[in-house]
Structure 1
Amino acid sequence: MDARTQPACHLGFLRWRQAPLPVPSSAEVSAVSQLLDRADRRLFHALTPARLAWLHSPRTLVLGFLAIHVVFLLALLPAILTGNVLGDLPLYRTWAENGLVHHLWPGIDVLWVYPIGALVPIVFAAIGGPLLYQLLWFLMTMALNAIAVTTLTDRGRDARGYRAAWLWLLLSFVLSPVGLLRLEGLTAPLVITGLVLLSRRPIVAAALLTAATWIKVWPAAVMLAVVTVSSRRTVVAVTGAAMSGGVALMVWASGGIRFLTGFVTMQSDRALQLEAPVTTPWVWLAVSGRPDTAIYQNYAIATREVAGPGTAIVAELMTPLMFLVLAAVLTLMLVGLRRRSDPSRLLLLGALSLVGAFIVFNKVGSPQYMLWLVPIVVVGAATAWRQWRAPVYLMLAISVLTTLIFPVFYLPLVDGDPFAVLLLTARNVLLVVMLGWSILALARLVRSTPRTLGSATRSGARTVPVGRD
């Protein structure tokens, strides 16, 4: 940060801390809001002006970033020194070796569970040989995290970005067992960077969001929100279409065009997975000892699933139900766009609702899915803390519970331990609460925008997308 801008940023951050909390109207007073107010007061009481100034220092943020990643490195060091890999990386390394050594490329020569863009980081981590795979994957994750933190703070110049940067580092630390060893650890910082850059660098933002979507499909929900309500939607749509066309052309030239969308059909054939929110009632039936319900290993795709009365029907219905909810959210967003609701809030709330629906109404569930929500919550916290404090606190609780479930209590969960299942149930309930909050907040935003305002400003109003100019 420039020395001339640092005192002003400190002053702005201190003013944010010292400003009194807005007094809610009588209609807004509720047990939930009072609980959030109490949490805020405790947080602000702990963060004295001196502590806030220290946290707001670029040097402190850099040291915090380095300290967290040194901890990550130390945790991974035994695997790095012995040439081993952890988490999903053994599978990634095998795919990379099959392509580089045996010329058998997933997604081109055979059907694959991931979009074809996932080959880029998977193969890149193998350029130093199989023994350096874990190290190169860690360095990729660290580099993208650094870019996300730098973008959130606008290279140290944006006071609001410090809160979001620290929140991102904290959630990354809590979710590190999956964030460091899954593709989501790469796509999450890409989505953060894309959302923040949307206003001033729409082509770059669109390229990042499109790249993230071709690595793991979940950022498509964020792209959908952007092209639905953002004033930059034309630029984003054209850039995304051009990049996707280029990807399809390269796959066609490689002879794998028939497998380009194979990741969609592979997901649609799956049964109810153990950790999916919809599966929770059958998990409890299995724990209770019901003979026709069981948790079992699906060896073909290396995952745990649940079978019981009605599970096949529910598995069939979940995808249509998910698309129905997605359509309802998009309709609400379009109504808000027509009424000229606040575009930044409309985009972020819509994105959170869409991603939340992807998780809650998905028959597949994994701990890394929590990293789908984190980028939107982090960027939301950077735009308006009070409006986003509920999902921030929810995300913190969801992240802690997720890490307790995996890897701490995962084996007891598979064995049907009641305490482990209780942790899973609490996490899944909070996911439903998060989705409910986002849809209700989106509906309130649309409803609070008068129809006359939309028609009156249609000719002169200009939407301001997420990001800072």
Structure 2
Amino acid sequence: MNRLRVNTGGVLGVTVLWPATRALMLWLLAHDSAPLLGGGAVAREVSHLYQQWYGVLAHGTFPADDTLWQYPPGAGAVLLAPGLVPGLTYFQAFVALTLAGDALVTVALVRAGTRAGRSLRGAALWTGGLPLLLQLPLARYDVQVTALAVLSLLTLTRSPRAGGACAALGALVKGWPALALLGAPRGPAARGAWTWATATGAVALGLLTVVFRDPLSFLRQQGGRGVQIESLGGTALNLARHAGWPGRERYQYGSAELVGPNVDTVATVCLALTAVSFGLLVVWRVRARRWSEATPFDAALCAVLLFTVTSRVISPQYMIWLLGLSAVCLTSRHTSQRPVAVLVLAATALSTVVFPMTYGEVIDGTWTGCLLMLARNGILTAAAVLSFVRLWRAARPQVKSRQRTEPRAGSDRLPGQVVSIS
């Protein structure tokens, strides 16, 4: 009865909180031109860039010559979808579909959280955490991508086929959801998930190749990207400006990047750290011996955190991914990632202070901007390290103790006294 009362209260709380917070986010989006909200920079991504790409995609080709097009071919389907909604402008339809994806994530987390032995903390974190990014989630398509990753993880144990298919579709849209399968339980479940992911990805990519020209053009633009000012490498270079480094900021490839001496070296270090992170995850996968219902969730969050902090680019919308994965972890009472989720929330709040509130300070490399980025990226790095350590420890077999209740000859121990032997 108490459990039912808690679930009912939790579901009611999320049901009330979601429309209230989303109404606030919509109000902020309507006032996007305010200087503190970015002076129109947030909504401009949809109304100008996405809508421009829509016009190209509608003619059956990817924007191959646009250096800003850096997304896998599945992104084309997401950007075309608003044009199918009748009676709305492209911008209105995009926001409506983003809210629908947000609602889908919330419902999935609530359903998962109300099962026996599960928790509604995940639904609460997503519902209350996403508004920390203000209007930004409504003007990026990362909510839709996160929805595919969340569905993949929540269906993985019950239906490995569905979990694999959702992960593949997510990977075709933005790459990282493929990491949702990293922690799939060994055996038939993992084989089924990866088989269906491969088959779904191949079929979907084949269809996109038939319908559109230049589906792999995004690889050229991705390869040309440098060190974004908000990444760990960018933070180090921004701090170096105060020590005499002669580099400067330049807008290219769709973001503010730093150019100057040794930038290529920093970019190479970032790529090397990403490779090291991948190696650590492979070692964990091979050596892991204990699996729980939360292991796939925890592994996905850890992997995306490691790849995020070592990336040459850490855009503010990346926090949407981490919030979604943290929420999935918190649906399980066996998760090892609770303190990591707290750090993700803190980093999310700081990301909003950075962009859009004080982004000019970051661009100019002032001490305020540098310290804000140092704090945000420091928290993200701590979260990634803590996440891997806790994931590693959770996978180690427990050492059971043998208990002996009979006294040895000549022992002063009283009969029945327990001795634990490791």
The TM-score bracket by the shorter chain reads 0.7 to 0.9
My pick for the range that moved more, 62-71 or 124-133, is 124-133
The answer for the alignment partner of 1:183 in structure 2 is: 141
2:194 partner amino acid: A
My pick for the range that moved more, 354-363 or 110-119, is 110-119
Q: Is 1:323–2:275 an aligned residue pair?
A: yes
Residue by residue over 1:197-225, the C-alpha shift from the partner in whole angstroms, topping out at 9 and shown as x without a partner, is: 22223333222222211111111222344
After superposition, where does 1:286-325 map in structure 2 within 5 Å?
286=241, 288=242, 290=244, 292-298=246-252, 301-325=253-277
Q: 1:355 to 1:315 in 2, by over 3 A?
A: same
Helix, strand or coil at the partner of 2:83? coil
Residue by residue over 1:210-252, the C-alpha shift from the partner in whole angstroms, topping out at 9 and shown as x without a partner, is: 22111111112223443x7475222211221121111232233
In structure 1, C-alpha distance between the alignment counterparts of 2:187 and 2:27, rounded to whole Å: 42
The answer for the alignment partner of 1:166 in structure 2 is: 124
* Matched positions, count: 390
Q: Is 1:333–2:333 an aligned residue pair?
A: no
In structure 1, C-alpha distance between the alignment counterparts of 2:149 and 2:140, rounded to whole Å: 15
The answer for the alignment partner of 2:61 in structure 1 is: 105
Q: 1:408 to 1:77 in 2, by over 3 A?
A: closer
The answer for the alignment partner of 2:408 in structure 1 is: none
In structure 2, C-alpha distance between the alignment counterparts of 1:71 and 1:261, rounded to whole Å: 38
In structure 2, C-alpha distance between the alignment counterparts of 1:375 and 1:236, rounded to whole Å: 20
The answer for the alignment partner of 1:400 in structure 2 is: 349
In structure 2, C-alpha distance between the alignment counterparts of 1:122 and 1:386, rounded to whole Å: 35
TM-score by length of 2: 0.83
Is the Cα contact below 8 Å between 1:108 and 1:251 reproduced in 2?
Answer: no
The answer for the alignment partner of 2:314 in structure 1 is: 365
In structure 2, C-alpha distance between the alignment counterparts of 1:304 and 1:110, rounded to whole Å: 17
Is the Cα contact below 8 Å between 2:74 and 2:172 reproduced in 1?
Answer: yes
Q: 1:388 to 1:332 in 2, by over 3 A?
A: closer
Q: 1:176 to 1:120 in 2, by over 3 A?
A: farther
In structure 2, C-alpha distance between the alignment counterparts of 1:353 and 1:87, rounded to whole Å: 32
Helix, strand or coil at the partner of 2:293? helix
1:295 partner amino acid: E
2:329 to 355, 376, 380: 380
Q: 1:304 to 1:156 in 2, by over 3 A?
A: closer
The answer for the alignment partner of 2:22 in structure 1 is: 69
Is the Cα contact below 8 Å between 2:228 and 2:256 reproduced in 1?
Answer: yes
1:212 to 170, 184, 209: 170
Is the Cα contact below 8 Å between 1:152 and 1:161 reproduced in 2?
Answer: no
Is the Cα contact below 8 Å between 1:85 and 1:134 reproduced in 2?
Answer: no
Is the Cα contact below 8 Å between 1:330 and 1:350 reproduced in 2?
Answer: no
Is the Cα contact below 8 Å between 2:181 and 2:296 reproduced in 1?
Answer: no
Is the Cα contact below 8 Å between 1:353 and 1:438 reproduced in 2?
Answer: yes
Q: 1:219 to 1:230 in 2, by over 3 A?
A: farther
1:195 partner amino acid: L
Structure 1 gap segments, 5+ residues each: 1-6, 14-52, 452-469
Helix, strand or coil at the partner of 1:154? helix
Q: Is 1:285–2:237 an aligned residue pair?
A: no
2:80 partner amino acid: V
In structure 2, C-alpha distance between the alignment counterparts of 1:136 and 1:8, rounded to whole Å: 42
TM-score by length of 1: 0.75
The answer for the alignment partner of 1:132 in structure 2 is: 89
In structure 1, C-alpha distance between the alignment counterparts of 2:265 and 2:343, rounded to whole Å: 31
The answer for the alignment partner of 1:223 in structure 2 is: 181
Helix, strand or coil at the partner of 2:311? coil
Helix, strand or coil at the partner of 1:305? strand
Q: By how many angstroms is 1:94 displaced?
A: 0.5
Is the Cα contact below 8 Å between 1:356 and 1:434 reproduced in 2?
Answer: yes
In structure 2, C-alpha distance between the alignment counterparts of 1:237 and 1:174, rounded to whole Å: 34
Q: By how many angstroms is 1:440 displaced?
A: 0.9
Q: Is 1:239–2:196 an aligned residue pair?
A: yes
In structure 2, C-alpha distance between the alignment counterparts of 1:344 and 1:138, rounded to whole Å: 34
Percent of matched pairs sharing the same residue: 23
2:72 to 111, 115, 119: 115
Q: By how many angstroms is 1:127 displaced?
A: 2.8
The answer for the alignment partner of 1:9 in structure 2 is: 3
In structure 2, C-alpha distance between the alignment counterparts of 1:333 and 1:210, rounded to whole Å: 20
Is the Cα contact below 8 Å between 2:336 and 2:391 reproduced in 1?
Answer: no
In structure 2, C-alpha distance between the alignment counterparts of 1:232 and 1:87, rounded to whole Å: 43
Q: 1:351 to 1:411 in 2, by over 3 A?
A: same
Structure 1 or 2, whichever has the larger Rg, is 2
Q: By how many angstroms is 1:282 displaced?
A: 0.9
Is the Cα contact below 8 Å between 1:178 and 1:185 reproduced in 2?
Answer: no
